[in-house]
Each structure stands twice: as structure tokens, then as C-alpha cells.
Amino acid sequence: MGNGNCKKLFNSTRKPEGLLGELMVKSMNKGHAAVSDWGMEHITKLHPSKIIDLGCGGGRNAAELLKRFPAATVHALDYSEVSVQKTKQFNQQAIKNGRLQVTHANVLNLPFSADTFDLATAFETVYFWPGPLESFKEVYRILKKGGCFLIVNESDGTNKADDKWLKIIDNMKIYTVEQLEFFLTEAGFSEITIDHKNKKHHICILAKK
């Protein structure tokens, strides 16, 4: 694969489109599984009835949330039409059973009423969100009082090895723990719990409304 196509492929992590986007979304389900499952270990004591997975990618994490919370319904959302379609394909039975809905929308303007969800999740996606503070305020708005926002990232903004992704992927920003905590606090969240795997540079943040 030439440098041009390589850049196009990795740029599709931000907003998967076309054939390259389909390939990327398929790889996301496998590539992000380990860190996503690690992140989900931090919400085992929660009992949400309505969950929203923001930046749902290929739909694997939505399926895992359904499995871990059998009494809950999940709403998966992405601003990539490719991701929306792949999530629907990956979770056909859950959609038929009425446990999953999938929406094409942007985190800056979430099409939901205030105080709708008990839990919002964002796995490997806030790197690409436009205006993190504004986006986090939208997440805060749609969460019920006492609801939680889970952010899981493989990169913590301190690993020089990750700089290559910033050169390849347009408009990608890798935030530090301190930056994310600041945005969450400014958006209104409280009781912010952080698990930071320093050696692996993984971050898991759970913030309560």
C-alpha cells in the first residue's frame, strides 16, 4: 500500500467512509476489544437501564454492553454512515429484539432530550470529537442526574510513539488525563475517577453527573 493510500486508510479512523472505511471499521472491532473490555471492568457495579455508546465504530462494544447489562437497552451513535451500517449489521438480532437502536448524528448536537441516559460510553473516540468541552456538555445534558460518562483511551498524550498518528490522521488530538479531567469538570461532571495504566499509556475515566 502506497503512502497516500496508507494515510487515507488511517484517516478513516476519524470518520470511516467508502471501502477503506469499511476495512477500518472491521479492524476496529478486533483492535479495540482489549482496551474496551478493560474499560468496561470499571462499570461492573453500575445498573444502567439506558446506555448510549458514542462513536460506536463497528458495533462490537455496543454488543458487549448489551451482554454485560442484560436488563438494559443500548443506543449506538456515530457520525460515520459506514459505522452506523456496520453496527446495524453486527447487531441485527439485538435490533430485532428492541434492545438496540443506532443513530447517525454528531456529538456536538445529540438528538436526545435532557436526562435520558444512565450511562454514556466513549471508547477510543474522543480524539476525534470537535470541541471536547462543548461535546462533553452535550453528554452531560443527555445524562440523568447520577448518570455516568465512561471514557476509555489507549493513548494518554504522553507517549512520543503516538506522535506518528497525529501526523497521519487529520484533526486527531490525544488528550492527557489532566486535560480530560479539566474538560469534564468544566462541563459540570463531578466524582471523577481515573485509572491510568502508565506503562501502557491507557486511560479510563468515569465521571458522574
Domain of 183: which CATH number?
3.40.50.150
Dump pLDDT digits (tens) for 103-112: 999 999 999 9
Q: Average pLDDT, whole number, for the chain?
A: 88
The pLDDT value given to residue 11: 45
The pLDDT value given to residue 45: 97
Instruction: Kindly report whether the global pTM for this prediction surpasses the value 0.75.
Output: yes
Residues 6+ apart with CB under 8 A from 158: 176, 201
> Are residues 161 and 114 in contact, defined by beta-carbon separation less than 8 angstroms?
no
Indicate if the pLDDT at residue 160 is higher than 80: no
Structural domain containing residue 172: 3-208
Dump pLDDT digits (tens) for 24-57: 666 667 767 999 999 999 999 999 999 999 999 9
Indicate if the pLDDT at residue 170 is higher than 80: no
Residue 127's identity, in one-letter code, is Y
Domains held by the chain: number: 1
Q: Which of 90, 175, 20 is nearest to 76 (CA)?
A: 90
The pLDDT value given to residue 3: 44
Residue 80's identity, in one-letter code, is S
Q: Which of 188, 63, 165, 179 is nearest to 123 (CA)?
A: 63
Residue 173 φ then ψ, to 5°: -135, 125
Q: For residues 25 and 160, what is the distance between their CA atoms, to the nearest angstrom?
A: 25
Indicate if the pLDDT at residue 158 is higher than 50: yes
Q: For residues 50 and 117, what is the distance between their CA atoms, to the nearest angstrom?
A: 5
Q: For residues 40 and 20, what is the distance between their CA atoms, to the nearest angstrom?
A: 28
Dump pLDDT digits (tens) for 128-147: 998 899 999 999 999 999 99
| H or E segment to which residue 204 belongs | strand 202-208
